[in-house]
Amino acid sequence: MIKELYKPNTVIYILECILGLCICYTLYKCFPQHQFYWSMISVVLVIAPDGKDSNRLAFDRIKANILGSSVGLLLFLIRIPNLFLICLGVMLTIAIGIFLKLNSALRSALSALVIVMIHEEGENSTWHIGLERMGCVIVGCIVGLLITLAFNSFHSLKKQGNNVDR
């Protein structure tokens, strides 16, 4: 178990997650009027632990997050009891996700759905909240994607450099 922590892929994954969290946390602290704490959740959902398919997984998870947050935003606009809407959102998100072949990223879609749909009842519960949460989820996704692409590009350049040296 301890040996797993010292594997290069594990160390890279830890660094990617920490960097993503630091970036999103900085946004959260710099813009306290916005809900960037949701970005911290989506960034760690987008970053994949395995380097082989991490670009494809990051793109799939971004699509899934956009799907879940879009369904959440649409249902947020309907004013009926929240639990029913969340259950309907889960059903729609899973059905659309399967149709779009995002099966491996459905958990990300469902978390984005819940992030957008969970809100406090009252006068501050407007569509702006859902839209802002959707935007913050997408910001976290973009940060995660950029980190994934940057680390994978660096890894590819390093491999090319090692092949040239031989």
* pLDDT tens-place string over residues 4-33: 666 777 888 999 999 999 999 999 999 999
pLDDT greater than 80 at residue 40: yes
pLDDT given for residue 131 in this prediction: 85
Query: What percentage of residues in the chain have a pLDDT greater than 70?
Result: 83
- Phi-psi label, residue 2: left if phi above 0, alpha if psi -120 to 50, beta otherwise: alpha
Backbone angles phi, psi at 55, to 5 degrees: -65, -50
Model's pTM, two decimal places? 0.80
Query: Mean pLDDT across the stretch 91-113?
Result: 94
pLDDT given for residue 53 in this prediction: 73
User: Whole-angstrom Cα distance, residue 59 to residue 20?
Assistant: 16
**Domain boundary assignment for the chain:** 2-160
